[in-house]
Structures are given as C-alpha cells and as structure tokens.
Amino acid sequence: MKCRKRMAARTLKLLLSLVAAYTAFAAQTALAWENPFANYEPEVVVSDPFIELHTGPGRGYPVFYVAAQGDHITILKERTEWYKIATPRGKKGWVHVSQMRATLDLDGGVIEFPDYDTEDFANRRWELGFQGGDFDGANVLSAYGAFHLTPNIAGQLTVSQLLGDYSDGYMGTASIVMSPFPKWRVSPFFGVGTGVIHTDPQTTVVQSEDRTDEIVHAALGFNAYLSRRFILRVEYRNHLILTSRDDNEEIDEWRAGFSVFL
C-alpha cells in the first residue's frame, strides 16, 4: 500500500511538472511564431454588411452584437481562429477569422490574416510533445522531439519515465517514423526504433540489481491535427527487451498526448 501511495505521489508530481513545462513551452512557442498584428493594423474597417460578435471564442457562444459596414473595429487579441475586437460603441466580443477576412485596413487595402491549416501540418519540420500511457501495467510519461526529413519520414527521439508497483525505470529510444498520408487531417503513421531501458526494482526483501538492457520496438499510431500548430497523438508500441539472461521480454505500450509543430 505504501508503495502504491509513493508511486501515485511521484506520478502526480511528474505529471504536474510535465504539464507546467508543456504550458510554458507552448506559450513561448506561440510568442515565437505568432504575432497577431504582424501583417495588419490593430484597427480595421468592416467591409461586409455586418460581422457578428460572440460572447466567447467559439461558435457555441451566442451572438450578442452586430458591427455594421463601415465601423472601425480594434483587434485586442487572438485565440486560434478567433479574434477579440472592440467596436466604436465600446462593445467587446469574439469574431471568427472567416469574417475578419472581410475587413480592410484604414487605407482600404485587403488584409492577409494568418491561416494555419493542414498544409502547414503536412509540411512541418520540428515537432515537440508530451505523452502519458501504460507500459505493461506501469505508468509511462514521455517527452519526444521529431525532425521531419520529408513530409513522409521523420527521425524521433523519446525519453520516458516508468512508474510501476514494484519497480521504476527510464527509457530512451531513437526511431524512424513514416507517414504515408501526411496531408490527411488524421494522419496514420508507423515506425521502428531502438534504445535502452533501465529498471530500478523497489523491493527491499530481496536485494535486486539494477538492470540496463537494449530495447527495440515497432510502432503504429496516428496524428490528429487540431488547429493552429497543435496535434493530438495516439501511439501503440510493441517492445522487445533484449536481456542478458537469454529470456527476452515482449512488452505492449499505449500512450497518448499533445504536441506542437514548428
């Protein structure tokens, strides 16, 4: 029981650390590649007969106000495909990018609003993410980085921590990942790789030696493009641990998480 409580506490602490690191990374990345006012002025003119203001950044939020043609509106912030604006009458609300493209700059010129779509997803170069899942009954928390040599082929490095009832461990792998349909919004992939796994038994009844073994794996999964530069990633790996005891172990691993691409 104490072992389980200790493992749960360590898992929670590590998960919170990963979430904090991911949040900080995503925020810094957003600042690096997103400047919502880089290509247009914060103040624009409505050129369509009207644009609709929602109470929040989503179509599920109700429309509470309509800005008329000719109104000068000020862009306050951007969130994915939604822009928070202020009207001349002091109304503040959220407008979808499709309607923002029907605005003009103060000189009457057409404004180019950024549009991240599946083409950017297919042609991504760097990908960084965090995942959690199950490694033969143990909790696994992973961070990975991938560099796409072509839209179909990527090299990937993954580091993982394993938290089990009777042993903890660390794993590092390098793999080649292949995506046959990179332009699909839900893009399947498969891959092969190798690495090392280190196991540290927790038992104190019998003195056990730490183990470090080579490991090889085959992977299958999919990337689901969400919006902007965010991806949902689900992956299955079948591992073969090449032990020095001539009794190789086969392990199944499931993991899921989120990543961003650059």
At position 206, the amino acid (one-letter code) is V
DSSP-assigned letter for residue 151: S
pTM to 2 decimal places:
0.59
pLDDT confidence of residue 190: 94
Rounded CA separation 79/91 (Å): 18
**Is residue 219's pLDDT more than 70?**
yes
120-261: CATH, from 2.40.160.20, 3.40.50.300, 3.40.190.10, 1.10.10.10: 2.40.160.20
| Mean pLDDT along residues 4-20 | 51
Instruction: At 5, list the tokens.
Output: 């409580």
Q: C-alpha angle 212/216/217, rounded to 5°?
A: 130
DSSP letter for each residue of 86-130? E-TTS-EEEEEHHHHTTEE-TTSPBP------HHHHHT--EEEEE
Band the pLDDT of 217: cuts 50, 70, 90.
very high
Q: Residue 205 CB: number of other CB atoms within 10 A?
A: 5
> Residue 210's pLDDT is what?
61
Model confidence over 47-105: pLDDT tens digits? 888 899 999 988 889 999 999 888 989 988 877 678 899 998 889 999 988 888 878 77
d(CA 88, CA 20): 39
- The two structure tokens encoding residue 143: 């961070």
Give the residue, 164 or 14, on which the prediction is more confident. 164
Q: And the tokens for 175?
A: 């793999």
Query: How many C-beta neighbours within 10 Å does residue 84 have?
Result: 18
Share of the chain above pLDDT 70, in %: 77
pLDDT of the residue at 208: 56
pLDDT tens column, 188-213: 999 999 999 998 876 654 555 668 88
Please name the residues in contact with 238: beta carbons below 8 A apart, sequence gap of 6 or more. 217, 218, 219, 250, 251, 252, 253
Q: Which two tokens stand for residue 38?
A: 């880089």
CB of 189 within 8 A of CB of 122?
Answer: no
**Per-residue pLDDT tens over the stretch 110-149:** 777 766 566 678 888 899 999 999 998 889 999 999 999 9
Strands 167-178 and 153-163 come out as antiparallel
* Average pLDDT over all residues of the chain: 80
**Which CATH homologous superfamily contains domain 43-104?**
SH3 Domains (2.30.30.40)
DSSP letter (8 states) at residue 129:
E
List the chain domain ranges: 43-104, 120-261
